[in-house]
Structure formats: structure tokens, C-alpha cells
Structure 1
Amino acid sequence: MDDYKNRSYGAVGIGMKGKIGIVVVDYQLAFTDPKYPLGGAPLVMRGLENTARLLKIARAHNVPVATCFTAYKCERDMPYWKVAAVRDQFRLDHPSSALDPLIYDENYDVVVCKSGPSIFFQTPVVPYFIKEGVETIIVTGCNTSGCIRASTIDSFQWGFRTVVPEDCVGDIEEGPHRDNLRDVARRYADVSSADEVIAYIKQSTS
């Protein structure tokens, strides 16, 4: 029995409509390079590869892309993170703060440094998408249970249609990845795939 479904959670689909924009959340070396404590989780690397595939098509069709990384000047500049690796390494001058070259195009992407979980919190990403006439936000990046969930909820709260391609996001463990996607799909967003978003881009911009 699915009591959420019986109480109408997830009963209304959102769908992709109008112009889309893509956010790429925290695909920085801290999460993608296995030499770092948080780096190289298999689900994150799968998400990185599928996001790169999606972005190649998106850029070819002039889709707006906003990319972010998380970093601070010093520990005093940080929120009260409970993750030791964040406190130790997420600094502006640390090499792990660099965006992974697989997903970053410095000549195309709008890049922001964020201080909290959501790419939208105290950054210019929302005004950028409003200026671009975006109606639907595609959320990619890591980690699903943290910054992806926060960014998805903020996208919803800003009034955007919100879609999360399951294979473009990742987490340290599969359980939290699946649980959080299931939960946001009940309330705030559609869970889709890279192939479905690519098909929409090609159809809507042809």
C-alpha cells in the first residue's frame, strides 16, 4: 500500500514546457576526483557523465546553463557544516573547488560560488533565468540528498516547473538518492532522465 499515493501525493505531473534552463550543482573536483574524501562516488560519477552528455546537446541548442561550486574564504565564512571535509577543503584557494572540466564550458556557462546547499540561495541565478525567459528548470549535480534536494525545492518555490533527471544526479549512497528523489517527486518536481530532456530540447528548439 502506498499511503502517499492514496492521499493524492504525486498525482499531478509537472512536465517540461516553454524554454528550459539547466542548473549544474557542485560538480566540482571535491566530489568528482577520488583523491579527495568526498570524491568519486559511483552514483556521482554516473551523474557527471550523463550531465556532460546532456550539456553538449543543450549548449548546441542555446539552452541557458548555470553552474555552481561551493567554497569559502575561511572557516569563519562558513555556515555550521557538520561535514569535516567541507570545513577542511571547501576553500576558494583549494584545488578541489575547481569545476570538473567534463561539465564546465567557461565560454558558455554562468558560474556562481554558493555558500549554502541551494544554487538559488543568495546568488543571481534566478534573475539570470528570468532574463532568459526560462519556464522549466532542469536540476543536475550532487548530492541528491543535500544540494540537489535544496535546489529542487528552491526552484519550485521560485515558481519554475522543475524536473530532475535521475541519471544526472548522484549521491554517496543509493538509498538516500532514491529516497529523496521519490520524496521530491511526490511534492515538487518530476523525476525524468537525460534522454527525455535531450528529446525535449531537440523537439522544442527545432
Structure 2
Amino acid sequence: MTTVNETYAHSLENADLRAFYEAAGFAGRVGWGERPAILVIDMAGAWADPGEQIGSDLSAVSDSIVRILEEGRRAGLPIIFTTMAWDPSLAEIGEVVRRKTPHSELMLHGTERVALRPEMGRRPEEPLVVKPRASAFFGTYVDAMLISAKADTVIVVGCSTSGCIRATAESAFNRGFHVIVPREAVGDRSPSAHAANLFDIDARYGDVLPEAEVLDHLRALPQTHPRAAEE
């Protein structure tokens, strides 16, 4: 016998739950705009090293991101990386954040914990934004950089699905951007949190798509940046 909990278990594959949300007026399709940009969220040591306090094995996620970055660079798309870090004084973190997330006290400027993983291959023209909170838009100039690049779509990749990915997707949605989340290119230390938040992002903030579909779209884009043809 199917229980209520099984019927409404969060999963992108749960057709009953999707139908329930659609009937309530959720889960419309955002689709692609005309000018995508890629936001790579927090692919740094603290999150991507399983030996770290908040780390987990994101090797498959990293591989997916690298493939997406390759096609994005070929097309000359704007690419923005983020990490989270604070001054050793800890004053800018704030008491509430320190109480709720004590691990924040270890995320200090200049440490390996907040340095990007080398496989991301960040290039000099790709900015690295140090954000003070979960969303890439909070307390940063990410929205201004996207507007300057005339981007209307953000491809959000990285970690963690239940935290910084969801927060960034919500902020982008609230600012009127098309939000695309390649499902293989985001990860979380908790599989259940990952599944639940992928469903919620897809229902509320953007379109969660297979990596293959995202790559096909990027490959069909013309090269728009003068450096793209030379690399």
C-alpha cells in the first residue's frame, strides 16, 4: 500500500508529486533566454574535499562542471566563480551566522579551504567572487556583472544543492533571470537534501535539466567572444 509519505517523496522522478505541484500552479518551464552565463558556486576545498568538516565527494559533479565550462568557454560565455571567506577577525560573519554555522569560523581568506579546486581551470578573465552568505548575489556585484555582460540566463553549477545552489537560484529568479540547473553538475553532502532541493528548484525557481541537454544547447551557440575562436 502506498503511503502519503511515499506518494510525496521529493524526487525529480516522482510523477505524482510533480502532478500535485503542477495542479497547484507550480513547475512551469522557464526555458532558455538569449544570452547565458555560468555561475560556478563554491567548488573549493572546504566543500569538495571529503576530509574537510563540511566536505563531500564531488568528483562526479566536478567532472560535469568541467564539461560544461569547456562548452561555455568555446562559446565565449561569461563565467563567474564564487567562494565563501571571511577576515580572521570574524567580525563580518556576525553572531547569528556563527551560532548557526560554526564551521564558518574556519572559512578564512587565504586558506586552502576557500581556494578553488584546480580542475576548475579558472582563467584570468573569469572573476572569482568572495560572497559572505549562501547566495552568489548577496553582498556582491554578481548582478551588475551579469547585467554588464547582457546575460539573461544563469546556468548554476557547484555546491551545495540545499544551500548555496538553492539560494543562488532563488536570488537569480527574483531578479528575473532564466535559471538553468544541470542536475549532474550540482551536489550536496546529503543525498536526500540534494533530491528534495532539486525538486524544489525545478518547481519554484528554474529548470533542472540533464547535463546532456545543457551541453547540446551550449554547443549550438555561436562563438560570441573574440577570444573564443583563438583558444
TM range (shorter): over 0.9
Q: Counterpart of 1:190 in structure 2: which amino acid?
A: D
Deviation at 1:83, TM superposition (A): 2.7
Aligned position for 1:85: 103
Q: Match for 2:61 among 28, 42, 47? A: 47
Q: Match for 2:81 among 67, 83, 98? A: 67
Q: Work out whether residues 75 and 221 of structure 2, in 8 Å CA contact, stay in contact via their aligned partners in 1.
A: no
Deviation at 1:34, TM superposition (A): 2.8
Question: 3-state SS of the aligned residue for 2:213?
Answer: helix
Deviation at 1:197, TM superposition (A): 1.5
Aligned position for 2:150: 133
Unaligned runs of 5+ in 1: none
Matched, 1:188 2:217: no
Q: Pairwise CA RMSD of aligned residues?
A: 1.5
Matched, 1:158 2:175: yes
- Of structures 1 and 2, the larger Rg is shown by 2
Unaligned runs of 5+ in 2: 1-15, 224-231
Aligned position for 1:38: 54
Matched, 1:76 2:94: no
Deviation at 1:51, TM superposition (A): 0.4
Give me the TM-score of the superposition, normalised by structure 1.
0.92
Aligned position for 2:44: 28
Q: Counterpart of 1:69 in structure 2: which amino acid?
A: T
After superposing the two structures, state which structure 1 stretch, 164-173 or 70-79, moved more.
70-79
The total of aligned residue pairs comes to 202
Q: Work out whether residues 114 and 121 of structure 1, in 8 Å CA contact, stay in contact via their aligned partners in 2.
A: yes
User: Percent identity among equivalent residues?
Assistant: 28
Give me the TM-score of the superposition, normalised by structure 2.
0.83
After superposition, what is the alpha-carbon deviation per residue over 1:46-83, rounded to whole angstroms, capped at 9, x for unaligned?
21221011101111210100101000003222141423
Question: 3-state SS of the aligned residue for 1:21?
Answer: strand
Deviation at 1:196, TM superposition (A): 1.5
Question: 3-state SS of the aligned residue for 1:204?
Answer: coil
Q: Counterpart of 1:67 in structure 2: which amino acid?
A: F
Cα separation, 2, equivalents of 1:105 and 1:37: 25
Question: 3-state SS of the aligned residue for 1:137?
Answer: strand
Deviation at 1:120, TM superposition (A): 1.0
Aligned position for 2:10: none
After superposition, what is the alpha-carbon deviation per residue over 1:8-58, rounded to whole angstroms, capped at 9, x for unaligned?
211x2111121100000100111112332222x23x332122101110111
Q: Work out whether residues 168 and 193 of structure 1, in 8 Å CA contact, stay in contact via their aligned partners in 2.
A: no
Aligned position for 2:127: 110
After superposing the two structures, state which structure 1 stretch, 100-109 or 52-61, moved more.
100-109
